A and B are shown apart, each in its own frame.
Chain A
């Protein structure tokens, strides 16, 4: 919403307010000033007279002019076609800063030029408010303009325009009359706005109107109008709002809409046959005022007379019935409709008009009456209208004014403030709300005020939030604070960060294609009803594909050794769960000059996952890794599913070569775990057991087995045989080679034996080791070396 300083100064004494102070007052009262347009050219834009004007020797469109600016005569090269001797013109002096350029002394095709003759476009005036002549040439001022004067006042740019942000609840202030009332409250000054009453004798109307009950329409005929320019007052106000002045009738219509917030339409009466009706079942074409033909469908609201459509209701009138310079008699139409209907039609037809914008705001139910009165009054005063007929209208809805009790103590309790009763009620007076025994009657234009809290807001915003004390609520201590899953997420993040893995955050919405790479999905994915683009149309069910994209992005920029994780909710048609995804690529660490290099591979991931699960509280014995040869993202022989006991938690493994090719990423290892599931499983508490006082003993064995025998199988045999005496196992060498047979492998294992209850004697150790080797031989066909 725009408001001009000059306009409000007609009503209020703002002598003591700088522009900044006005902006501050408006902002702190709830109307944030988003911009100030000042057209301030700092005394460098003056009136000049063209004394001479000759053609530039080296150009067919440039002129060399001598321009009198009172203190001196300047030579200025001008490119405008319309420049001529004797004109009063706008001169931007050297040093003047125009929106697009700063004026300097220069040479134009060899001829010196000290300044510029300006068009309004060059001063930054919106083109939509200008005539073609104004757009295409320099501005010619009236001949009585005084040479050397600051030019602004001759072109109506001696004003300051504030751009106000209006919150949806206060759209009442798009009506200038309501804005003035608001300003009266803000500046704490009096204002009296009188709505005109028509005093002429009214003639009985032949018109009729019709519409359904939830809508409203009125029509009033006026005869013998004179078409001419509208008054200066109206023109200058329209200019502030960038509305082009057409003629007095059209201008009055627009002006009254500005004052009241109530759109209206004025028809040439000659082209209206019979009654005015609001119709919602028209189908067909319609030629609107803008000259375009629109396709109207059922459901769009139209204004009809007895024969034909006259306008698209609330959006734009028709070309056929518009007021022209030949118009003699007019019909004023004021109507109201459901705002959703107007919005939908306006959207579908892609037309936005002053009227369609206003209809989407709250319109004061009394404004329709005010608008008719203003229009008739102005048509008489500004268009010499002679015969005024009765207004005919459809039945009006009863206007019920809200009354609210204002209890200043409750207000103070709610706000934590310490206002006196007088202070609180003074705000109601500033707002011009009616007060009767602490009951406040809310005027019809303030439909935003429905509960007492709305009044509290009026009081605090107008008395100022800097009067609000700073306190803290009484604390109610909580024993919950962070939910378990979030605690777990934090622990995981900390663990992974420590291990050199970087946290990422990618988009929830993905493409069809990315969705096809989702890991461990159960149900179908959710598609949006109205996506913005194909890239962002599906809610993801898995994080890994997004992380692979991030990896590709980084690797394509030569960033090496990317290790990333992300924790995020994923969702399918049935449910949501929280997942952790990890991508490891390149080296975990590399210090090449001393051969200290660890490459991220399956085992690094395995170590990471195991460590993480153990630290989260899942005993190592509960963690089960089961080979999965059938996971399309993963290498068939380097992939496992992770279980805690029997509960499936997720999967990790080396990327499948076709997938790494597809995403253009290096060979990397991937994991995705379901944290929601994990969090639901019991975790072990830290349980202290004393360190065994008895010596541990290490024994090494080397065995030769078939390649197909896994370490897991060997480990299981040893542990079952040795039971609780087996403290730990460590593989310290694996060998494969022709000399031991191509289907064999040799494995060297260090076994640590220890008892909680005694020192193991040689005999016990000896027989245990023999027992182990025998079992390995019989069960796994191992050869002991």
Chain B
């Protein structure tokens, strides 16, 4: 009897396709009206010995069925899960680049990087308007009235006093004056500058510079060299070398042009560096004592250095951009080529 029930029940459990069927089987065999319950009812007629024996067998069968049902349930769940996953198969090769991100304009990217290099060295960042007085742009920068650099031809004058600044040195001169009583000064001033130049591949009437200025006691020219070497290495790679070449700016003395080893050939010589292995990236020097005095700073007690770099030039060198006008045309395809961290 029990054997028959067992065979029948196991067969039915095996054939179950889903949880619903399985639950039905469970109720059918283990429920209150199930065949095992019936067998138990019939136990009353048996002797104690027999009762014990049959009762034990019924209980064994009960737990066998229960465990078989549970095992089957796990199996069925697994199959159902597999099925669901199968159904959720997708075409992995479909393009999905529609969540595009924007990026900084390449000149701002370089500007930000330079600012951060100097902030890390303890510098402040100053920004002052682009419409400047002749006084700060030229006079205070030690560029006298009859100097060719002040020519109407090269400067966008607004009237006799005002102009669009031709270099960020103008900011420097303002900053010097404002902080004359609040030394030391350690500042970089990035910004747009303007020259009355026709636009071509290497000239732009609008471009960007970053100007650095340090004024305190005991600042030496060797400090300038160390500072610029660090900047060059952070911008162009840690093996960068720099070279000072004597030059002339009205607001510094001594003045130098600063070359970095050519990032294109590593200094071996190529077309970009005209076979010299060096590329000029900025002008620098020790602040001219007259400039300090004009701002009301005692040049016998304090000294300083200053440097000015073309942000456009650095960007062109670093990314190999061949035409400065690209920066201002804003072709989105051009702008997007700077969409990575570097």
- CB contact between A504 and one of B205, B218, B335 (< 8 Å): that residue: B335
Q: Check A497/B103 contact, CB under 8 A, given A456-B254, A569-B129.
A: yes
Q: Check A414/B328 contact, CB under 8 A, given A471-B220, A502-B103, A569-B129.
A: no
**CB-nearest residue of chain B to A550:** B330
* A457 B336 Cβ-Cβ under 8 A: no
18 contacts between A and B (CB under 8 A): A30-B246, A413-B218, A468-B222, A469-B222, A471-B220, A471-B225, A499-B101, A500-B102, A502-B102, A502-B332, A502-B336, A505-B108, A528-B157, A530-B152, A530-B196, A559-B331, A563-B102, A591-B96
Among B80-88, B169-177, B284-292, the stretch that binds chain A is: B284-292
Q: Check A451/B253 contact, CB under 8 A, given A465-B245, A469-B222, A593-B94.
A: yes
Contacts of B186 in A (CB 8 A): 473, 476, 478
* B225 A470 Cβ-Cβ under 8 A: yes
Q: Does chain A have a CB within 8 A of B255?
A: yes
* B164 A482 Cβ-Cβ under 8 A: no
Q: Check A469/B98 contact, CB under 8 A, given A505-B330, A509-B206, A539-B164.
A: no
Taking residues whose C-beta sits less than 8 angstroms from the other chain, chain A's interface range is 35 or more
* A30 B247 Cβ-Cβ under 8 A: yes
Chain B 165-208 near chain A by CB (<8 Å), digits 1 or 0: 00000000000000000001010000010101110000001100
**Considering the chains assembled together, what is the distance between the CA atoms of A496 and B256 in angstroms?**
40
Q: Does chain A have a CB within 8 A of B216?
A: yes
Contacts of B100 in A (CB 8 A): 500, 589
Q: Check A557/B126 contact, CB under 8 A, given A471-B223, A500-B102, A531-B156.
A: no
The smallest C-beta distance from B26 to any residue of chain A, in angstroms, reads: 37
**CB-nearest residue of chain B to A596:** B98
Q: Does chain A have a CB within 8 A of B282?
A: no
* B125 A483 Cβ-Cβ under 8 A: yes
Q: Does chain A have a CB within 8 A of B121?
A: yes
Q: Check A483/B127 contact, CB under 8 A, given A472-B223, A500-B101.
A: yes
Q: Does chain A have a CB within 8 A of B14?
A: no
- CB contact between B194 and one of A29, A502, A508 (< 8 Å): that residue: A508
**Considering the chains assembled together, what is the distance between the CA atoms of A474 and B247 in angstroms?**
26
Q: Does chain A have a CB within 8 A of B5?
A: no
Q: Does chain B have a CB within 8 A of A402?
A: no
Q: Does chain B have a CB within 8 A of A210?
A: no
Q: Does chain B have a CB within 8 A of A278?
A: no
Q: Does chain A have a CB within 8 A of B295?
A: no
The smallest C-beta distance from A604 to any residue of chain B, in angstroms, reads: 14
* A497 B102 Cβ-Cβ under 8 A: yes
- CB contact between B105 and one of A170, A339, A456, A503 (< 8 Å): that residue: A503
Contacts of B225 in A (CB 8 A): 416, 465, 468-471
Chain A 13-49 near chain B by CB (<8 Å), digits 1 or 0: 0000000000000011110100000000000000000
* B123 A589 Cβ-Cβ under 8 A: no
**CB-nearest residue of chain A to B160:** A529
* A576 B332 Cβ-Cβ under 8 A: no
Q: Which of A201-245 contact B (CB under 8 A)?
A: none
The smallest C-beta distance from A495 to any residue of chain B, in angstroms, reads: 10
**Considering the chains assembled together, what is the distance between the CA atoms of A536 and B198 in angstroms?**
11
* A493 B104 Cβ-Cβ under 8 A: yes
Q: Which of A334-392 contact B (CB under 8 A)?
A: 339-340, 343, 360
**Considering the chains assembled together, what is the distance between the CA atoms of A497 and B104 in angstroms?**
7
- CB contact between A498 and one of B101, B196, B226, B327 (< 8 Å): that residue: B101
Q: Check A465/B159 contact, CB under 8 A, given A453-B288, A530-B152.
A: no
Contacts of A417 in B (CB 8 A): 221-222
- CB contact between B198 and one of A532, A565, A571 (< 8 Å): that residue: A532
What are the nearest 10 A-B pairs in CB distance? Answer: A416-B222, A416-B220, A30-B246, A457-B254, A167-B248, A465-B244, A461-B246, A473-B223, A502-B102, A497-B102
* B227 A503 Cβ-Cβ under 8 A: no
Contacts of A539 in B (CB 8 A): 131, 158, 164
Contacts of A488 in B (CB 8 A): none
Q: Does chain B have a CB within 8 A of A485?
A: yes
Contacts of B101 in A (CB 8 A): 497-500
The smallest C-beta distance from A456 to any residue of chain B, in angstroms, reads: 6
Q: Check A460/B254 contact, CB under 8 A, given A493-B108, A503-B104, A559-B333.
A: yes
Q: Does chain B have a CB within 8 A of A564?
A: yes
* B245 A32 Cβ-Cβ under 8 A: yes
**Considering the chains assembled together, what is the distance between the CA atoms of A413 and B255 in angstroms?**
16
**CB-nearest residue of chain B to A594:** B94
- CB contact between B206 and one of A497, A508, A557, A564 (< 8 Å): that residue: A508
* B124 A480 Cβ-Cβ under 8 A: yes
Interface centre among A29, A482, A483, A576 (most CB of B within 10 A): A482
**CB-nearest residue of chain A to B280:** A32
**Considering the chains assembled together, what is the distance between the CA atoms of A533 and B311 in angstroms?**
25
**Considering the chains assembled together, what is the distance between the CA atoms of A653 and B55 in angstroms?**
84
- CB contact between B247 and one of A167, A530, A562, A576 (< 8 Å): that residue: A167
* A553 B289 Cβ-Cβ under 8 A: no
* B107 A481 Cβ-Cβ under 8 A: no
**Considering the chains assembled together, what is the distance between the CA atoms of A55 and B124 in angstroms?**
80
**CB-nearest residue of chain B to A528:** B156
Contacts of A499 in B (CB 8 A): 101-102
* B107 A505 Cβ-Cβ under 8 A: yes
Contacts of A416 in B (CB 8 A): 220-223, 225
* B248 A28 Cβ-Cβ under 8 A: no
Q: Check A553/B222 contact, CB under 8 A, given A472-B227, A508-B194, A590-B98.
A: no
Chain A 476-519 near chain B by CB (<8 Å), digits 1 or 0: 11101111011000100100111111111111110000000000
Q: Does chain A have a CB within 8 A of B119?
A: yes
Contacts of B229 in A (CB 8 A): 470
* A481 B99 Cβ-Cβ under 8 A: no
- CB contact between A557 and one of B122, B246, B331 (< 8 Å): that residue: B331
Contacts of A435 in B (CB 8 A): none
Q: Which of B217-262 contact A (CB under 8 A)?
A: 218-223, 225-227, 229-230, 243-248, 253-257
The smallest C-beta distance from A465 to any residue of chain B, in angstroms, reads: 4
- CB contact between A470 and one of B157, B192, B222, B288 (< 8 Å): that residue: B222
Q: Does chain A have a CB within 8 A of B146?
A: yes
Q: Does chain B have a CB within 8 A of A169?
A: yes
* B130 A477 Cβ-Cβ under 8 A: no
Contacts of A503 in B (CB 8 A): 102-105, 108, 335
**CB-nearest residue of chain A to B94:** A593
Contacts of B256 in A (CB 8 A): 465
Contacts of A564 in B (CB 8 A): 330, 332
Contacts of A474 in B (CB 8 A): 216, 218
**Considering the chains assembled together, what is the distance between the CA atoms of A563 and B230 in angstroms?**
37
The smallest C-beta distance from A363 to any residue of chain B, in angstroms, reads: 14
Q: Does chain B have a CB within 8 A of A526?
A: yes
Q: Does chain B have a CB within 8 A of A454?
A: yes
Q: Check A504/B330 contact, CB under 8 A, given A414-B221, A415-B221.
A: yes
**CB-nearest residue of chain A to B255:** A457
Contacts of B194 in A (CB 8 A): 508-509
- CB contact between A501 and one of B102, B227, B255, B303 (< 8 Å): that residue: B102
Contacts of B184 in A (CB 8 A): 476
Q: Does chain B have a CB within 8 A of A475?
A: yes
**CB-nearest residue of chain A to B156:** A528
Q: Which of B61-86 contact A (CB under 8 A)?
A: none
Q: Check A461/B254 contact, CB under 8 A, given A30-B245, A559-B333.
A: yes
* A481 B130 Cβ-Cβ under 8 A: no
* B157 A475 Cβ-Cβ under 8 A: no
Q: Check A473/B227 contact, CB under 8 A, given A508-B192, A532-B198, A554-B332.
A: yes
**Considering the chains assembled together, what is the distance between the CA atoms of A252 and B82 in angstroms?**
104
Q: Check A482/B158 contact, CB under 8 A, given A415-B220, A589-B100.
A: no
**CB-nearest residue of chain A to B246:** A30
Contacts of B289 in A (CB 8 A): 451, 453
Q: Does chain A have a CB within 8 A of B36?
A: no
* A532 B205 Cβ-Cβ under 8 A: yes
**Considering the chains assembled together, what is the distance between the CA atoms of A485 and B286 in angstroms?**
30
Interface centre among B156, B164, B194, B255 (most CB of A within 10 A): B156
